[in-house]
Amino acid sequence: MITDRADPPPGDLLAQAVEGMDRPMFVLDGDWRFSYVNPAGAAVLGRTVGDLVGRGIWDEFPEAVGGPFQQLYTSVRLTGRSGRTEAWFGPLEKWFQADAFLTDAGLVVTYDDVTARRRAEEERTAAVAAREEAALRAADAAAAAELAGRHLMLLGDISQAMTSTLDTDEAVSRFARLVVPLLADWCLVSVVDPDGTRRDVGRAHSDPAMVEAMNRYADARVGTNLPSAPVPTALRSGRPVVIPQLTSAHVEQMVSNDAAREALAPLRPSAVATFPLLARGEQFGAITLVNGADRGPHTDVELRTAEVASRRAALALDNARLAAANQQVAERLQRSLLSPPVQLPHLETAVRYRAATRGVSIGGDWYDSILQPDGDMVLVIGDVMGHDIEAAAAMGQVKTLVRGIAFDRLEEPAGVLRRVDHALVGLAVPTMATALVCRVEHDGAGGRTLRWSSAGHPEPLMLTADGAVVDLTAPIGPPLGIGWRGPRADGATDLPDDATVLLFTDGLFERRGIPLDDGREQVRELLARFGDRPLEELCDRLLGVMLADGAEDDVAVLGLRTRAAAR
């Protein structure tokens, strides 16, 4: 007699047959209780026969409720058709394959621990997957290496092609032909001539059938680009402009008229990337890479290569221009003449300079700030006639005179201008200049006064803490360099905390075809709009808007912002 178990199901022959079975088995009655468990079955389940017989399967193994084993047993009992399942049983950390069929004695379940087989299969599958992944990685690495090699060769070809000619138009045409189709479906290269004119010179398309359409659009692009278009934006900011998914809204913001949009439509652009041609602080133009609808957005690798290529192209253009006209000395001269502004804890200053001469940062405008021995600050801004090397040389002499006299003579701005004018005539300096001298004076009670005088120069603007913009008006005297013997007048106003004073040359707002008052009013509006920004940002935004289409004349800007002083 078998111990540690209940009686087997009816039929001694059945009991004797299943008792010695190596395959685990149990029988469930109509109430889902174990009516029989063979020793092999109990061992696999980690129990004894006596632990299981007479007990409900779902009570003993609640983790199986709702799982594949319960679903199998229920289905066999309902349909009478035998079934099989193979599933992971978490509590025992084993895989089981279970076969179930219905008999008069109950629901008979035979099952096997197939964990070893499953793990072997998983290991084989993982090994195959690892081999496939390794092969895929090797293929990807080979493709990436090939692409990297092509990109490196492209960069080398660009350097060689562009440095072998001093003709700017030919150089950028070579660039466009080289980058298509490796980096884009088509390419336009814009150059900015010394007079500020922008031209789309380099042109190339991967599809010969689309070259004519590209040329039609390129011919119309310069005259129809809005300021928000990629090229004007890149030229202003000096940073790339990337549009991965070009929409109709983008086109509306780029192109100003229907004819240009109709010229663009056949090209079906879907992605645009524009890179400025920037080298040694100079803008020479911009490169526009365009993909059609079939190619989609530019990849990260293409964008990185394009950025490096744009820097190399810009450097090549710069070298060509420097070789044609040795302007590097003039650039250094200008930087040496424009000294950094004085900064005090309660008086913050910011300066900007933009020369009208393309390819060389030199001109006749200047700014200056001086801390006098008594602690007062003098601000100067001026404009020597002309914007070339001769104007810069004359500016250096005028600026030096103003600086020396303003520091040595602690007198009102009108007196400084009077002495400078007489010195220019007496020293036979062959130039004329406008200038504005401001003096920030501190009284003993902790107050501040701004005193200024103008020699033919535009009057400054002041933004107060409440947002009001005030024109600082006073009688304007004649320019310097004529030996004026008549009187010069000062203007004066209180200078409160958190006020912004803006000094500028006329190149900031003078434009052909635009009344001077309209240009100055635009400066007033921008000062009111951006006056709450940091002083450096205010100056950047001012130049970014006013000079969006380039500078027709030299431009100098000097900003002063007052803060509460330690009295």
- Cβ atoms of residues 275 and 307 within 8 Å: yes
- Cβ atoms of residues 312 and 162 within 8 Å: yes
Say whether pLDDT at 10 is over 90: no
Model confidence pLDDT, tens digit, residues 329-364: 555 566 666 778 888 889 999 999 887 755 455 678
pLDDT of 7: 53
Say whether pLDDT at 409 is over 90: no
SS3 33: strand
For the chain, where do the domains classified as CATH 3.60.40.10 start and end?
A: 328-562
Say whether pLDDT at 4 is over 70: no
Mean pLDDT of all residues in the chain? 87
pLDDT band at 20 (very low <50, low <70, confident <90, very high): low
Say whether pLDDT at 15 is over 60: no
Structure tokens at 223: 């005259």
How far is it, in rounded angstroms, from Cα 442 to Cα 290?
A: 59
- Residue 89 is inside which H or E element, if any? strand 83-89
Q: How many CA atoms lie within 13 A of 97 on its CB side?
A: 8
What is the DSSP annotation of 506-543? GGGT-BTTB-HHHHHHHHHHHHHHHTTS-HHHHHHHHH
The 3-class secondary structure across 326-352, one letter per residue, is CCHHHHHHHHHHCCCCCCECCEEEEEE
Model confidence pLDDT, tens digit, residues 63-119: 999 999 999 999 999 999 999 999 999 888 899 999 999 998 899 999 988 988 889
153-324: what fold? Beta-Lactamase (3.30.450)
Length of the chain: 567
- Cβ atoms of residues 185 and 295 within 8 Å: yes
Sign of CA dihedral 424, 430, 435, 439: negative
For the chain, where do the domains classified as CATH 3.30.450.20 start and end?
A: 12-113
- Cβ atoms of residues 469 and 444 within 8 Å: no
Structure tokens at 443: 């009284």
pLDDT of 78: 93
Structure tokens at 157: 């070809």
Higher-pLDDT residue of 564 and 324 is 564
Structure tokens at 317: 């253009």
- Cβ atoms of residues 402 and 435 within 8 Å: yes
CA distances from 221 to 230, 232, 245, 310, 549 (A): 11, 11, 20, 20, 15
DSSP-derived secondary structure letter, 4: S
Say what percent of the chain tops pLDDT 90.
Answer: 55
Q: Which amino acid is at 201?
A: V
- With 0-12 / 13-18 / 19 or more C-beta atoms within 10 angstroms meaning exposed / middle / buried, residue 100 is buried
12-113: what fold? Beta-Lactamase (3.30.450)
Which of 72-76, 192-196, 385-389, 492-496 has the weakest average pLDDT? 385-389
What's the whole-number mean pLDDT along residues 465-490? Answer: 93
**How many other C-beta atoms can be found within 10 angstroms of the C-beta atom of residue 523?**
20
SS3 447: coil
CATH class entry, domain 328-562: alpha beta
486-514 exposure pattern, b = at least 16 Cβ within 10 A, e = fewer = eebebbbbebeeebbbbbbbbbbbbbeee
**How many other C-beta atoms can be found within 10 angstroms of the C-beta atom of residue 274?**
25
CA nearest to 347, candidates 559, 493, 492, 540: 559
For the chain, where do the domains classified as CATH 3.30.450.40 start and end?
A: 153-324
How far is it, in rounded angstroms, from Cα 100 to Cα 114?
A: 16
Residue located via tokens 């062959």:
430
pLDDT of 566: 45
- Residue 72 is inside which H or E element, if any? helix 68-79
- With 0-12 / 13-18 / 19 or more C-beta atoms within 10 angstroms meaning exposed / middle / buried, residue 535 is middle
Residue located via tokens 């006056």:
531
Residue located via tokens 């350097």:
159
- Cβ atoms of residues 2 and 12 within 8 Å: no
pLDDT of 420: 94
Say whether pLDDT at 326 is over 60: no
Say whether pLDDT at 291 is over 90: yes
- Cβ atoms of residues 399 and 435 within 8 Å: no
How far is it, in rounded angstroms, from Cα 27 to Cα 38?
A: 9
pLDDT band at 235 (very low <50, low <70, confident <90, very high): very high
What's the whole-number mean pLDDT along residues 130-158? Answer: 82
